[in-house]
Amino acid sequence: VESPASADALWLARDADVNPNRPIFTGDLFDDVEVAGQGPKGMAMVVAHPCSMRGKNGALAERVLMAPVRSYQKLPLKAWTEGHFGVFPIPGVDETAAVALDALGTAPTTALDSASRVACLSELGVNLLQQRLVMRLTRADLPTSVFHEAFSHTYEEADLLEEWCDVLSDAGRSIEEATAMFELAVREPRPAGESFQGLLRDPQQRASVRRDLRRLAQEAAGSS
């Protein structure tokens, strides 16, 4: 089990830096959420795997797996590797609290609005979260590099959706409209057969997918 090099390395964005155009993703930290069976409303983290959060058309599931944040002793980064596998510390957000990985439950996605999103984990943070969760639930210690290899395409897609929504919202489109257009664009089979979403699974194809989607976003913005 690994630890981050710094608290900052855990986070993609916090507080006012969180982009409301970013889709809800694994590792997002929300305030004021009630996790079923886990007590009153409070801060909670999305721990559902990206693949299980959305249906085939890209729509969010009605409920997603979350874990509440609870008070916990301040953990130095080196202690991450020595135990405490039942929690995912959140230094940089709250030094004396952690995501309780033993207190899983679901929450309705309607309760997860961008205004209450406190922070988003970085890709490394998501990999560390998945590593700790798997360790806690199964005692299997998988390196984060394996999670990165298996699921980095989902993080890429979230990045691209965020960028797409930035471009189209500047052109006057709502986030819902922009998201729907993106989902159509990434799932549609390309002339060569594979969709952008499929191509993102191949690291060698990602740069060209980014180029194509950026061009399509500009075209869509131009016609808005």
Partner 1 sequence: VSDRTVDQTNPAMTLKVPVSGDETTVSADLLADRAGFLRNRARILGADVAGVQHEVADFHRSTIGPAIRAKAVEVAKRPLADLLQELADLGFSWRAIAELCEVSVPALRKWRIGTSEPARTNRQRLAELVAVSELLTADHLIDDVAAWLEMPLDANSVVTAFDLLRQHRDDCVVELAGAHRAPADVLDEVDPEWRSRRIQFEVVEGPDGEHLIRPTSDAGTQ
Beta bridge partners of 106: 65
Integer Cα distance of 56 and 60 in angstroms: 10
Q: How many chain residues are in contact with partner 1, going by CB under 8 A?
A: 32
Q: Pick the binder of partner 1 from 156, 181, 182, 221 (CB under 8 A).
A: 156
Structure tokens at 68: 């509440």
Question: Segment near partner 1 (CB under 8 A), from 25-33, 38-46, 176-184, 203-211?
Answer: 203-211
Binders in 17-36 for partner 1, by CB under 8 A: 17, 19
Residue type (1 letter), 167: V
- CB closer to partner 1, 19 vs 224: 19
- CB closer to partner 1, 74 vs 215: 215
Site string for partner 1, 62-101 (x = CB under 8 A): ----------------------------------------
| CA distances for 133 relative to 24, 55, 103, 150, 203, angstroms | 19, 23, 11, 16, 26
Binders in 93-152 for partner 1, by CB under 8 A: 123, 142-143, 145-151
Question: Segment near partner 1 (CB under 8 A), from 35-43, 65-73, 180-188, 196-204?
Answer: 196-204
Q: Pick the binder of partner 1 from 57, 110, 138, 204 (CB under 8 A).
A: 204
Q: Any idea what DSSP says for residue 88? A: E
Integer Cα distance of 35 and 64 in angstroms: 10
Contact present, 48 and 131 (Cβ < 8 Å) = no
Residue identified by tokens 């002339």 is 191
Question: Segment near partner 1 (CB under 8 A), from 37-45, 84-92, 101-109, 200-208?
Answer: 200-208
Provide the 3-class DSSP secondary structure of residue 34.
coil
Integer Cα distance of 167 and 106 in angstroms: 32
Contact present, 122 and 12 (Cβ < 8 Å) = yes
Q: Pick the binder of partner 1 from 186, 206, 220, 221 (CB under 8 A).
A: 206
The site for partner 1 (CB under 8 A) is made up of: 8, 11-13, 17, 19, 51, 123, 142-143, 145-151, 153, 156, 159, 163, 201, 203-211, 214
